[in-house]
Amino acid sequence: MGNMQQVLDAALENIKPSQEEITESNEMFRKIQAFIRDEFSLESDLMGSMAKNTFLAGDKDLDIFVFFPPETKREILEKKGLRIGKAVFQKFRSKDYVISYAEHPYTKGVIKGFRVEIVPAYKVQRAELLQSAVDRTPFHKAFVIERLKNPDDVRLLKKFLKANGCYGSDLKTEGFSGYLCELLLIKYSTFEETLKASQLWHYQEVLDVNNHFSKHEYSRLRKKFENQPLIFLDPTDKNRNVAAVLSHEKLAKFIFVARRFLQKPRDSYFARPNEEINTKQLVAHQKEKGTALILLTFKKPDVIDDILYPQLRRFSGGITKLMKSEGFVILDSWEFADTECGIAVELLSERLPKYLDVRGPSVFNPPEHQDRFVSKYKKIWLEGTYLTAETEREHVDADGFFRSHLAKSAKKLHDSGVPSTIAESLQKGFKIINFPKVSKIKSKEFWKGLGKDN
Amino acid sequence: MGNMQQVLDAALENIKPSQEEITESNEMFRKIQAFIRDEFSLESDLMGSMAKNTFLAGDKDLDIFVFFPPETKREILEKKGLRIGKAVFQKFRSKDYVISYAEHPYTKGVIKGFRVEIVPAYKVQRAELLQSAVDRTPFHKAFVIERLKNPDDVRLLKKFLKANGCYGSDLKTEGFSGYLCELLLIKYSTFEETLKASQLWHYQEVLDVNNHFSKHEYSRLRKKFENQPLIFLDPTDKNRNVAAVLSHEKLAKFIFVARRFLQKPRDSYFARPNEEINTKQLVAHQKEKGTALILLTFKKPDVIDDILYPQLRRFSGGITKLMKSEGFVILDSWEFADTECGIAVELLSERLPKYLDVRGPSVFNPPEHQDRFVSKYKKIWLEGTYLTAETEREHVDADGFFRSHLAKSAKKLHDSGVPSTIAESLQKGFKIINFPKVSKIKSKEFWKGLGKDN
């Protein structure tokens, strides 16, 4: 596979950090570490891809953990953790920092071009003793450093996934995490072998580098990790699936693109394709396709993406289910929250007939149910054993459906299943945009959804 | 229930035959019986509702069975049976007779206003010895005569069912047979009690006047008579369900109408409602309703209704299933074969978008399946783990669908699942009639289907 090697070499040249870049990062970290030790008498250490030497050139991330004794009270850890963070950013003359919330609050900001995070954690001796999720990170680091032979192949995998939209375990992307990439390389040694191995994965393939489980336990694991299409057991915690966030689409896309790459290796698989979206062409194609398209937009709720995107998905799932039950034929739906925020729904047709047939109780159901149905409608007939009648439809178009279902108080919306932050935003107002007018929408995420570019 | 009794008395007055009518029929039968005995030395007997005294006034049916010794060869029975039939019609100067085919051929025609059937049968001593289905009839007759106390109430039930479109065990009606009515009255004694009992029937109620089976065998019976919504075990043959032909709709309609009658007895339940159909009103309503309607008509195949109607139903079931698989949303379909012959299909909309998404194999399926899919389409995306692509629809309207699927040779149509007689008719030509043009259709069955009048 001469061609393959050429492509990989070229890709690596672009993504492998220089020795200079590595030295510079380490120096920056040493300075911050020294400051924390001198000022607060606490040990700190570098985590993340920089610590494991699996970062991509230009990814200037310093994830610094500050370790507290295990007996420290949680409030003390949180309070002092934030105090240390602030002190670091002040010391290094950075005004560009914020407090962020994972399992507990931490400080993050930019110092001399580096994205720095100061994360308080407990110093625990064994993984079983961990007190919070972040405490697991040092064990991940230790495992990777001890077992990973080819960090450059992790870089190739990360870049390959990034270029194809599958990298990142945030809840917007639902892709592969950096740690998952490292574990895959520990298991399969090289980038090429990882791609080849993926072609043989079954649905819910179980990957267990530590042989925590015997094969006859796999079906139990598959039930436990239901709906998670890949199961990579965390070598530091056998009850955890490292690939828990990975969606069906993103796993499938990786497997699909991997095969095409193996069949015909090309540089383009490592370059994010030209992101220019030809919206005119998409509009023209949609017109020719002939399905209906309707957008619901509202002010973007002020929450982090890890909360927003799952809520948008839940919202669009709920509302399309309701539309289906009213007779609309839903072909697709997706969410967007970059420039505009909202959901898009593709339908067989936007209008429905004025009347519809409603199915009532069966003649074998209690007479009082049947009598109630009979008293409600003028004309009754039987379909199978079911009383059936005709009724005027409440909403003959998607537009009217949205207006009547969403023009409610935030509380009522929430009670009817709309996620809270979206309910609050909807209450303040929303827009309904029908097909030809979508031309004005700027959101790349909307256009990528329309172009089926996942 | 004074009112109930008044209504029943009035109904009975219309349907109970006069003594004169009964005498006249018996005389006619005696003459034919004497002729057969004198000319052919064979015994004959009267069967049917006249023999059991459960016929409605004006129903002048003489079902005459001619009995052959059990050892007679079947060919001899058939040949001689027809010879006797012809001789009878010639003797009584009737040119108005035909040969009809049930399990074996028989002769039927009109003699002095009576509809006469001459049916050859074996004289068997016990029901277990019967050689053909018609041989069962004398046992039915004997059982009914021995057990039925109130023949007038059978008349009421028959008329009630007739007036509501549920009488007749032919395969067009799929309703209640005369024998089933008689058995219901044997079980429940009176018309009113029968109606009341029907309100307590469950789905697949088992009625077993002879107690052939114990209750714990009922679930096995329900499996055996799957899809038959009422199970009335034949007292002369415990392996047979007398209600086998009864459809879900007709049973349900009986139960439904019975309850309304019990709540408010009225003469109109015994009169076939005014059959004038306001087609203009139905067309106007259809227009307002807003669904699409398309008719396929063809020359009525030259077969009896008991073959034609099941074939039409099978045809419409097959073709609507195919339409569904192509993306059409089918709301209703029905058949008609009175003045015109064909099927009607009601759809959400007659046109479909030009393009549709096709689902390919999953990424977990064999690579060669996936590669075949990939090579077929320009653009592939993933929905879940499934490869998906867009394709131009073959048929964007129901009209085009019909034309392309039905313009084939009879053999090809038959191979694709179209029942033979319909395939032959379609090959000779068919018409497609879209909604507003249906005004020209004369078929009452079509209009009753559109009016949901079952």
Q: What percent of chain B has pLDDT over 90?
A: 90
Q: In what order do the strands lie in the sheet with A330-337?
A: A330-337, A341-347, A292-298, A430-434
Sign of CA dihedral B184, B185, B187, B193: positive
CA distances from A54 to A135, A150, A151, A184, B300 (A): 20, 9, 5, 13, 77
Chain B residues in contact with A260 by the CB 8 A cut-off are 374
Distance CA A391, CA A397 (A): 16
Chain A residues in contact with B382 by the CB 8 A cut-off are 249, 252-253, 256, 454
A248-273 mean pLDDT: 94
On average, the pLDDT of chain B sits at: 94
> CB-based burial of residue A16 (10 Å sphere; 0-12 exposed, 13-18 middle, 19+ buried)?
middle
**Residue A252 and residue B363: Cβ atoms within 8 Å?**
yes
Chain B residues in contact with A387 by the CB 8 A cut-off are 256
Q: Return the residue in B450, B452, B453, B454 with the most chain A beta carbons within 10 A, the one to mutate for interface testing.
A: B452
Q: Is A168 left (phi over 0), alpha (psi -120 to 50) or beta?
A: left
Chain B residues in contact with A332 by the CB 8 A cut-off are 357
- Would you call A204 an interface residue with chain B, using a CB distance cutoff of 8 Å? no
The closest of B367, B371, B391 to B379, measured between CA atoms, is B391
Q: Which residues pair with B206 in a beta bridge?
A: B231
Tell me how far apart the terminal alpha carbons of chain A are, to the nearest angstrom: 29
Number of Cβ within a 10 Å radius of residue A80: 16
Closest to B290 (Cβ–Cβ): which among A256, A348, A353?
A353
Q: SS3 for chain A, per residue?
A: CHHHHHHHHHHHHHHCCCHHHHHHHHHHHHHHHHHHHHHHCCCEEEEHHHHCCCCCCCCCEEEEEEEECCCCCHHHHHHHHHHHHHHHHHHCCCCCEEEEECCCEEEEEEECCEEEEEEEEECCCCHHHCCCHHHHHHHHHHHHHHHCCCHHHHHHHHHHHHHCCCECCCCCCCCECHHHHHHHHHHHCCHHHHHHHHCCCCCCEEECCCCCCCHHHHHHHHHHCCCCCEEEEECCEEEEECCCCCCHHHHHHHHHHHHHHHHCCCHHHHCCCCCCCCHHHHHHHHHHHCCEEEEEEECCCCCCHHHHHHHHHHHHHHHHHHHHHCCCCEEEEEEEECCCEEEEEEECCCECCCEEEEEEEECCCCHHHHHHHHHHCCCEEEECCEEEEEEECCCCEHHHHHHHHHCCCHHHHHHCCCCHHHHHHHHCCEEEEEHHHHHHCCCHHHHHHHCCCC
Residue A217 has pLDDT above 90, yes or no: yes
**Residue B252 and residue A355: Cβ atoms within 8 Å?**
no
Under 8 Å between Cβ of A228 and A246:
yes
pLDDT at A130: 78
Tokens 């990957």 found at: A207
Predicted confidence (pLDDT) per residue in B230-259, tens digit: 999 999 999 999 999 999 999 999 999 999
- Give the count of alpha carbons within 13 A of B87, CB side only: 16
Number of Cβ within a 10 Å radius of residue B90: 11
Under 8 Å between Cβ of A57 and A148:
no
Q: Give the nearest chain B residue to A204 (CA atoms).
A: B364
B122-147 mean pLDDT: 88
**Residue B256 and residue A382: Cβ atoms within 8 Å?**
yes
Lowest-confidence pick of A195-204, A231-240, A254-263, B268-277: B268-277
Domains defined for chain B, CATH in brackets:
17-134 (3.30.460.10), 148-273 (1.10.1410.30), 279-352+394-450 (3.30.70.590), 355-392 (no CATH)
**Residue A452 and residue B362: Cβ atoms within 8 Å?**
no
For residue B245, give how far its alpha carbon lies from the nearest alpha carbon of chain A (Å). Answer: 14
For residue B373, give how far its alpha carbon lies from the nearest alpha carbon of chain A (Å). Answer: 12
Q: Give the nearest chain A residue to B256 (CA atoms).
A: A363
Q: Return the residue in A247, A363, A395 with the most chain B beta carbons within 10 A, the one to mutate for interface testing.
A: A363
Helices A74-91/A19-40 angle, 10° precision: 120
The closest of B242, B246, B234 to B139, measured between CA atoms, is B234
pLDDT at B103: 72
**Residue A454 and residue B355: Cβ atoms within 8 Å?**
no
Chain B residues in contact with A202 by the CB 8 A cut-off are 364
Pick the more confident residue, A125 or A75. A75
CA distances from B133 to A289, B84, B119, B315, B378 (A): 59, 20, 12, 28, 62
Tokens 């994830």 found at: A63
Chain A residues in contact with B363 by the CB 8 A cut-off are 251-252, 255-256
A166-182 mean pLDDT: 96
- Would you call B251 an interface residue with chain A, using a CB distance cutoff of 8 Å? yes
Chain A residues in contact with B328 by the CB 8 A cut-off are none
**Residue A253 and residue B454: Cβ atoms within 8 Å?**
no
- Would you call A431 an interface residue with chain B, using a CB distance cutoff of 8 Å? no
Closest to B199 (Cβ–Cβ): which among A251, A367, A379?
A367
pLDDT at B275: 72
Distance CA A197, CA A200 (A): 5
Amino acid symbol at A216: H
Distance CA A432, CA A402 (A): 8
Position B105 confidence tier, pLDDT thresholds 50, 70, 90: confident
Predicted confidence (pLDDT) per residue in B4-19, tens digit: 999 999 999 999 999 9
Q: In what order do the strands lie in the sheet with A105-111?
A: A44-47, A61-68, A114-122, A105-111, A97-101
Number of CB pairs < 8 Å for A and B?
Answer: 122
Query: Which value, to the nearest 10 degrees, does the dihedral of the CA atoms of residues B47, B53, B57, B61 take?
Result: 10
CA distances from A414 to A72, B93, B248 (A): 39, 85, 43
Predicted confidence (pLDDT) per residue in A223-254, tens digit: 999 999 999 999 999 999 999 999 999 999 99
Q: Are strands A114-122 and A61-68 parallel, antiparallel or unpaired?
A: parallel
Distance CA B104, CA B78 (A): 7
Q: Which residues pair with A121 in a beta bridge?
A: A67
The closest of A433, A414, A434, A178 to A311, measured between CA atoms, is A414
Position B2 confidence tier, pLDDT thresholds 50, 70, 90: low
pLDDT at B244: 97
- Would you call A203 an interface residue with chain B, using a CB distance cutoff of 8 Å? yes
A residues 7-66 lying closer than 8 A (beta carbon) to B? none
**Residue A390 and residue B452: Cβ atoms within 8 Å?**
yes
**Residue A454 and residue B252: Cβ atoms within 8 Å?**
no
Sign of CA dihedral A162, A164, A168, A172: positive
Long-range contacts of A88-96 (CB under 8 A, 24+ apart): A88/A32, A88/A35, A88/A36, A88/A116, A88/A118, A89/A116, A91/A35, A92/A31, A92/A32
Q: Which residues pair with B375 in a beta bridge?
A: none
For residue A381, give how far its alpha carbon lies from the nearest alpha carbon of chain B (Å). Answer: 6
Q: Give the nearest chain A residue to B381 (CA atoms).
A: A452
Q: Give the nearest chain A residue to B290 (CA atoms).
A: A353
Q: Give the nearest chain A residue to B227 (CA atoms).
A: A384
- Would you call B271 an interface residue with chain A, using a CB distance cutoff of 8 Å? no
Q: Give the nearest chain B residue to A451 (CA atoms).
A: B381
Predicted confidence (pLDDT) per residue in A347-388, tens digit: 999 999 999 999 999 999 999 999 999 999 989 999 999 999
Tokens 């965390």 found at: A234
- Would you call B379 an interface residue with chain A, using a CB distance cutoff of 8 Å? yes
Residue B80 has pLDDT above 70, yes or no: yes
On average, the pLDDT of chain A sits at: 94
Predicted confidence (pLDDT) per residue in A420-449, tens digit: 999 999 999 999 999 989 999 999 999 999
Polymer length in residues for chain A: 454
Residue A2 has pLDDT above 60, yes or no: no
Q: What tokens does A260 get?
A: 């095409």
A residues 385-424 lying closer than 8 A (beta carbon) to B? 385-388, 390, 396
Phi, psi of B167 (to 5 degrees): -100, 130
Q: What percent of chain A has pLDDT over 70?
A: 99
**Residue B291 and residue A353: Cβ atoms within 8 Å?**
yes
Q: What tokens does A286 get?
A: 């949609």
Q: Give the nearest chain A residue to B205 (CA atoms).
A: A364
pLDDT at B134: 83
For residue B366, give how far its alpha carbon lies from the nearest alpha carbon of chain A (Å). Answer: 9
Q: Give the nearest chain B residue to A246 (CA atoms).
A: B384
For residue B311, give how far its alpha carbon lies from the nearest alpha carbon of chain A (Å). Answer: 19
Q: Is A92 left (phi over 0), alpha (psi -120 to 50) or beta?
A: alpha
Q: What tokens does B143 get?
A: 């059982």
Number of Cβ within a 10 Å radius of residue B284: 11
For residue B379, give how far its alpha carbon lies from the nearest alpha carbon of chain A (Å). Answer: 9
Tokens 């057969």 found at: B36
Q: Are strands B330-337 and B341-347 parallel, antiparallel or unpaired?
A: antiparallel
**Residue A355 and residue B381: Cβ atoms within 8 Å?**
no
